[in-house]
Chains A and B, each alone.
Chain A
């Protein structure tokens, strides 16, 4: 459902994303793993059409994100990094607004908002302004926004960042459950999360894909069978000069 071919993004003469290709099909949960600054967010911003690629081709549900952005954008839900939200809106107002932009009106909109609220446990803060929410609630509000139209494709940039252990557990279960009949990409730098949720992992380092396989395949590369060791062996920490 998502097809990325030879994707490149240059900022000045620095290559943030360098020749990245991958596909995600329905029923797959693709984990995007990498050190900070590896190009995970930049890749997701290009896949969602927020920033244009320098070169390469991205199709979402068969629609080219650059040629037919509106058709492509209807098909996915997106949770950007840091889960932004309009500070001056209530949770309910915000979800109503995003539902309207998704073309939901009247009772369809009410049902969609109700379903998303239930899925993300937002009943208690429905009429609260977003800037008064705790980080966990703010995050879940933005997550609810990405699920509001029950999209076939979900793209999530660090969906468990800033959540407490219980919330992390809930969100992982949610991703796993939804992954059965959706195509999901999510980024993280928490390795246990990858093992718990993903059907496939891509490790990206300094803009390049350095590993691509199931969590089991990757673990088999290390003598102790630990993902941590594999990760450290193939990526460079940003404290190393290069």
Chain B
């Protein structure tokens, strides 16, 4: 009915909150600097002599590990600290609308940050003749990767009124999502466990599913994975908020 109007109002408020405070600008500058640093210096973009953005996307799971929880940590913990949660949730709006609105606002913000990396596309196109389809798939994957981390931070921020705790717990969970499929860790695991077990554990990792996107493959299963992570953690957010209110 007017669910979308409510969600839109929440999105508008949250996005406004980023840009009226220095958070947005600090985040964007640091994100772009680090993305550039990893791509060109650590990832040796030029030395590779390849017309691709492999050295750009490879770093995203690690870059987001710290930056996305920084964006998501305040979503609910700030509401709890200020007491505005009581105000928001006694308005004619459902908890779901508030959760989805907050999540979408932050995701849009991350999408904007990602979009601002566009000079790297021009650079690689100017220097060589890359497959722009692969680059496009990489961007889609990166967006869903950021969304998954964000949904995790959304959940941890509902657990506490302390933003620092919310940040740290979120980083640890996201780190697990990386390491479960990170090659050095899976190699180590395969010494003790059967390949089947290692595969099952790796299936929970964002690395496994982000890889396909980096190679330019848009696989439905990878979308399903990222969307399930987002869906599950947002659902958990709702449960945590309900339990908090019930006392």
Which A residues fall within an 8 A CB radius of B? 9, 11, 45, 48-52, 69-70, 73-74, 78, 80-82, 84-90, 93, 97-98, 100-103, 105, 129, 142, 145
Contacts and interface: CB of A to CB of B under 8 A. Distances in A.
B28 interface: no
Nearest to A131: B82
A49 B226 CA distance: 34
13 contacts: A11-B247, A70-B92, A70-B94, A80-B83, A80-B86, A80-B87, A89-B17, A90-B20, A97-B12, A98-B87, A101-B9, A101-B92, A102-B92
A159 to B, nearest CB: 14
Contacts of B91: 73, 98, 101-102
Interface string B6-35: 100100110011001100000000000000
B17 A49 contact: no
A51 B12 CA distance: 26
Given A11-B247, A97-B12, 6 more contacts: A50-B86, A51-B245, A51-B247, A52-B245, A88-B21, A101-B92
Interface SS of chain B: helix
Given A84-B86, A85-B82, A74 B92 contact: yes
Contacts of A103: 2, 5, 92
B84 A49 contact: no
B93 interface: yes
A92 to B, nearest CB: 12
B104 to A, nearest CB: 16
Interface in B62-109: 82-84, 86-87, 89-94
B220 interface: no
Interface of B: 2, 5-6, 9, 12-13, 16-17, 20-21, 82-84, 86-87, 89-94, 245-247
Contact of B90 (A9, A49, A52, A129): A49
- Which of A9, A45, A50, A78 neighbours the largest number of chain B CB atoms within 10 Å of its CB? A50
Nearest to A98: B91
A213 to B, nearest CB: 29
Nearest to B18: A88
